[in-house]
């Protein structure tokens, strides 16, 4: 039984399925690459279920169509006999899978292999002159056309990115990912692992915090005043070095009236202001307060150099 409407439906269903998948991918804006496979599946579960339902309906329709065809063949066989069925080629002696594999491979039947044997022989082994399978030939030509399209798209037009452009884009994305990761880990810094920041933007943030929180006790330029000590010389009341600076800011000096800023500032902000204080070493601001505490010198390989000047530390 050949029903044109069924053929049209069977042709349109795969196209509808592919269009729904493409619509889902376009709607998410490439979310599968950014969110990961599982997140993409969850985000598009409705489209995926709909596509599975359509595919199931497509398979069921093919099954029902084959069943109806077999029923019709049985009815015709009862009415006209097997000879009439074979004459009009309605009675298939081979299954559709057998017909498909035969057309895909074009293999010579075993009983006819004598006709395609080569004359040469090696150790009693003879070779058959079989033709290449049509599927292999088709795939070969597809790769040729794909190669031509690939070369044209990436090397002879501005549509595709070059290897260098793709490398730069991926390096930029990797750098952004690293920065996001470091930002998420920034607050894990403490007095045991803190390091001095030298980036100008980070020091500027530290200066901003210093201006807001520290100038009433240490002066606008860290020169010190009647309340707090000078932060620009090499003498320290509570130990020098970035680790001691961080620790002093974090825990404060309650007996001297300095609060524990660790309760108000994030760890990364304490690191920024500590790095800024360290960078003030040797700046020699006007009206600097006389040195207080003990002379402190940085240890080699454990303390870095400040952004400007000599040793770094915190009062």
Give the dihedral sign, CA 231/234/239/243. Answer: positive
108 pLDDT higher than 80 = no
What b/e sequence results for 59-84 when a residue is b if at least 16 CB atoms lie within 10 Å of its CB, and e otherwise?
A: eeeeeebeeeeeeeeeebeeeeeeee
Closest by Cα among 292, 289, 285, 217 to 249? 217
CB 248 within 8 A of CB 229: no
| Alpha-carbon span 297 to 283, nearest angstrom | 16
Strands 125-128 and 294-295 come out as: unpaired
| Alpha-carbon span 154 to 162, nearest angstrom | 6
pTM (predicted TM-score) = 0.43
- What are the pLDDT digits (tens) for 179-198? 888 777 667 788 888 888 98
CB 41 within 8 A of CB 112: no
What pLDDT, on a 0 to 100 scale, did the predictor assign at position 15? 58
311 pLDDT higher than 50 = no
CATH number of 200-295: 1.10.760.10
| Alpha-carbon span 210 to 222, nearest angstrom | 9
* H/E segment holding residue 117: strand 117-122
Lowest mean pLDDT across 51-55, 102-106, 107-111, 235-239: 102-106
What pLDDT, on a 0 to 100 scale, did the predictor assign at position 308? 41
What pLDDT, on a 0 to 100 scale, did the predictor assign at position 205? 93
- What are the pLDDT digits (tens) for 145-180? 999 988 888 888 877 788 888 899 999 999 999 888
What pLDDT, on a 0 to 100 scale, did the predictor assign at position 139? 92
Mean pLDDT for the stretch of residues 220-224: 87
Q: How would you class 244 by CB atoms within 10 Å of its CB: exposed for 0-12, middle for 13-18, buried for 19 or more?
A: buried
In the chain, domain spans = 4-93, 112-160, 200-295
Mean pLDDT for the stretch of residues 234-253: 88
């Amino acid at each position: 039984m050949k029903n044109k409407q069924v053929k049209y439906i069977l042709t349109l269903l795969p196209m509808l399925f592919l269009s729904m998948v493409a619509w889902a991918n376009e709607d998410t804006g490439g979310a599968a690459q950014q969110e990961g496979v599982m997140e993409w599946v969850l985000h598009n579960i409705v489209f995926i279920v709909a596509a599975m339902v359509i595919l199931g309906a497509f398979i069921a329709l093919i099954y029902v169509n084959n069943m109806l065809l077999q029923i019709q063949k049985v009815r015709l066989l009862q009415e006209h006999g097997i000879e009439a069925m074979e004459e009009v080629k309605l009675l298939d002696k081979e299954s559709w899978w057998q017909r498909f594999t035969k057309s895909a491979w074009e293999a010579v039947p075993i009983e006819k292999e004598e006709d395609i044997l080569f004359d040469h022989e090696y150790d009693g082994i003879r070779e058959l002159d079989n033709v290449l399978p049509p599927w292999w030939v088709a795939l070969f030509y597809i790769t040729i056309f794909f190669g031509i399209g690939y070369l044209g798209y990436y090397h002879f037009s501005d549509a595709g990115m070059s290897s260098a452009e793709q490398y730069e884009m991926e390096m930029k994305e990797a750098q952004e990912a690293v920065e996001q990761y470091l930002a998420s880990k920034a607050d894990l810094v403490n007095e045991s692992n803190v390091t001095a920041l030298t980036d100008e933007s980070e020091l500027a943030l530290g200066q901003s915090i210093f201006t807001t929180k520290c100038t009433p006790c240490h002066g606008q330029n860290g020169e010190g005043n009647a309340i707090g000590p000078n932060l620009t010389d090499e003498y320290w009341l509570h130990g020098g070095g970035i680790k001691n600076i961080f620790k002093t800011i974090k825990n404060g000096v309650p007996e001297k009236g300095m609060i524990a800023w660790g309760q108000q500032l994030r760890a990364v902000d304490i690191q920024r202001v500590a790095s800024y204080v360290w960078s003030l070493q040797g700046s020699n601001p006007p009206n600097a307060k006389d040195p207080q505490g003990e002379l402190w010198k940085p240890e080699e390989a454990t303390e870095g150099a400040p952004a400007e000047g000599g040793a770094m530390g915190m009062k």
